[in-house]
Structure 1
């Protein structure tokens, strides 16, 4: 398992709230920026901005995702890297379950 997202990319991921059951993280990724491989627990994502990202998992498989402000997405626990392939900063709230 890869290291925690906040440890790997503290310039991208900021903890806004945490208790024994959930962790709320703000993600901000500039256009063209990327993160190293990192881990997320099961999480619900709420997109604050429109954007485009590519996720690459530990096997090297990539998924391109179009983000729409106000939409939510569910992700099971995952190790991946993230690349902002769009022209705007990507901003989202991640609600990680413990």
Structure 2
């Protein structure tokens, strides 16, 4: 099931730009916050803060620790995210349509 993160977790995700080719989502959370399962299309992720989290994909937990101002490709996926660190998470996702 493909759930839009702005629907599953509207307190954490918001659309900051959208046109016929891309959608840009801003994500912000606090230590301890956890998302519901949701879907991201193929995306470029830009971290605006450093953070530690766990991403669960297909029942497998993946630890993630990223620095601020990191840019990476994220293939389409369904996942659950959990802020397991001591800092807030602030990220932009540029989703391709």
TM-score w.r.t. the length of structure 2 is: 0.97
Distance 1:69 1:29 in 2: 15
Distance 1:73 1:48 in 2: 12
Cα RMSD (Å): 0.7
TM-score w.r.t. the length of structure 1 is: 0.96
Distance 2:79 2:72 in 1: 16
How many residues are matched?
97
Structure 1 stretches lacking a partner, 5+ long: none
Deviation at 1:73, TM superposition (A): 1.6
The runs of 4+ residues in structure 1 deviating greater than 4 Å are none
Matches within 5 A, 1:25-64: 25-57=25-57, 59-64=58-63
Secondary structure class of the residue paired with 1:26: strand
Distance 1:29 1:81 in 2: 13
Q: Is it true that 1:6 corresponds to 2:27 in the alignment?
A: no
Distance 2:26 2:75 in 1: 18
Structure 2 stretches lacking a partner, 5+ long: none
Deviation at 1:21, TM superposition (A): 0.3
Deviations along 1:6-44, one digit per CA (max 9) or x if unpaired, are 110011111000011000110001111000100000001
The equivalent of 1:89 in structure 2 is 88
Deviation at 1:65, TM superposition (A): 0.6
Deviation at 1:2, TM superposition (A): 2.8
